[in-house]
Amino acid sequence: MKTSAQARAVVPLGLAQTLAWASSYYLPAMLAAPMARDLGIATPTVFAAFSVALVVSACVGPWSGRFIDRHGGRPVLIGTSLLFAAGLAALGMADSVTTLFAAWALMGIAMGSGLYEAAFAALVRLYGHGSRNAITGITLMAGFASTVGWPLSAWLESHYGWRGACFAWAGLHLMVGLPLNAWLPRAGSHPTPHADVPEATATRPAADATTDARSATRTTVLLAFVFAATWFISTAMAAHLPGMMQAAGTTLAVAVAVGALIGPAQVAGRLLEFGLLRRVHPLLSARLAALAHPLGAVALLLGGPALAPLFAVLHGAGNGILTIAKGTLPLVLFGPQGYGARQGWLMMPARVMQALAPFLFGVILDRLQAGALWFTAGLGFTAFLALLLLRSSDAASAQSPAMLARESSR
């Protein structure tokens, strides 16, 4: 597929993803406090409802991915535009804790079928092994979701209240997100053909098939751990970065300034992946990215506040590349067949850890203060070691016709 043809799909999908992330994942940061005040509840209760949405999204992911494998991403993403609009409208009408949690649960269904995993699966369904640049492209665009979402949510809340902000985001999904997702090309009537599987697998003896299945299971477990560990770190830093920086010895002003470096560093990391690192195997770029947070954390702990900017740049760049790796590693290790469903299962533990990270890391930070960074550094280094255990040949051979038949029949 020519690059220009991919660009015609990537640009609208990237814009739609920017809208989806800005109006869901990045929404509570600006609206949780006014929601809580108006409903007469504590702010952590709003974040608890948001955590429920993340858990719901984890459960929805595999089923959404399976549908995309069979029918393409266009109908799913069009449907999620409607779901996002409905969920945001329900949030705007919430008048109790029960309706608040119900609205966020509906948002969780939209998030599980309309954020990166679904977009990656849609691209793989269209372009197969040639999807790496397209995946990088949409993450480059959606990397500005917080840059757009936070100021716009704050402006809408200040002028129209938090309910008006939710209704405005709902309207944007109907007027902007829906047409953008409808722009996505229609997938073929059949899933990615089994021709992507090495022909030699068809004649392998049963013993080799058993070995292949074990290799695939081992690779799946390692990838799921890597994604869960790195998403825990990313969410923990997003929730507690200012407090953690102050615990490490910076002032609040410095902590805020350092935090502002993470967004640009994430985009810079994705540009690096799109340029230099796309010439290497995704495993190598993922290993380098997994090391970035531990190196930055150790530098901050040993060097003090003066090295806080270095920590922010390393953490942000690594996180930016790892976001792409979550889409490309399953593709290169397993191939495009059954990608959507597999991606959903791989990301399920990561979504759960994402939901738990703000609370768990908050407890660790309260007890260890700056020493909490040793915990995330160790977790990141363990993810790096898990990536070292992966080889590019680990799972490619596991896609035997029998396994593919089982995957397609689920």
> Which CATH number does 211-409 carry?
1.20.1250.20
Please tell me if the domain spanning 7-182 has the same topology as the one spanning 211-409.
yes
Q: What is the pTM of this model?
A: 0.79
Tokens coding 280? 């290497």
pLDDT confidence of residue 202: 41
* For residue 208, pLDDT beyond 70: no
Do the beta carbons of residue 120 and residue 62 sit within 8 Å? no
Q: Which among 156-165, 210-219, 387-396 has the top mean pLDDT?
A: 156-165
pLDDT mean across residues, the chain: 83
Q: Which of 31-40, 94-103, 267-276, 401-410 has the lowest mean pLDDT?
A: 401-410
pLDDT band at 206 (very low <50, low <70, confident <90, very high): very low
Confidence tier at 378 by pLDDT (50, 70, 90) = very high
3-state secondary structure of 1: coil
Q: What pLDDT score does 368 carry?
A: 87
E-only strand ranges, 151-211: none
User: Is the predicted pLDDT of residue 109 greater than 80, yes or no?
Assistant: yes
Domain positions in the chain: 7-182, 211-409
Q: Tell me what pLDDT residue 276 has.
A: 74
Residue with tokens 């399953």: 330
Q: What's the pLDDT band for 106 if we cut at 50, 70, 90?
A: very high
pLDDT on residue 176:
95
- Residue 130, pLDDT score: 79
DSSP string, 142-187: HTTHHHHHHHHHHHHHHHHHHHHHHHHHHHHIIIIIHHHHHTSPPP
Instruction: Look at residue 195 in the predicted model and tell me its pLDDT.
Output: 35
Minimum mean pLDDT among 166-170, 242-246, 385-389: which range?
242-246
- Inter-axis angle of helices 97-114 and 3-22, to 10 degrees? 170
Torsion, Cα 134 138 141 143, to 10 degrees, reads -120
Summarize the chain as % helix, strand, coil (round to 5).
85, 0, 15
C-alpha 353/C-alpha 333 separation (Å) is 23
Residue 145 has pLDDT above 60, yes or no: yes
Predicted confidence at residue 383, as pLDDT, reads 93
Secondary structure letter of residue 197 according to DSSP: S
Does domain 7-182 sit in CATH 3.40.50.720?
no
* Mean pLDDT, range 276-289, rounded to an integer: 83
pLDDT at 265: 86
* Most confident range, picked from 26-40, 179-193, 246-260: 26-40
- Residue 167 pLDDT: 97
In this predicted structure, what is the pLDDT of residue 163? 96
**H or E stretch at 244:** helix 206-247
pLDDT at res. 3: 62
Is the pLDDT at 105 greater than 70? The verdict is yes
pLDDT for 315 beyond 80: yes
Quote the CA–CA distance of 74 and 78 in Å, as a whole number.
6
**pLDDT of res. 84:** 97
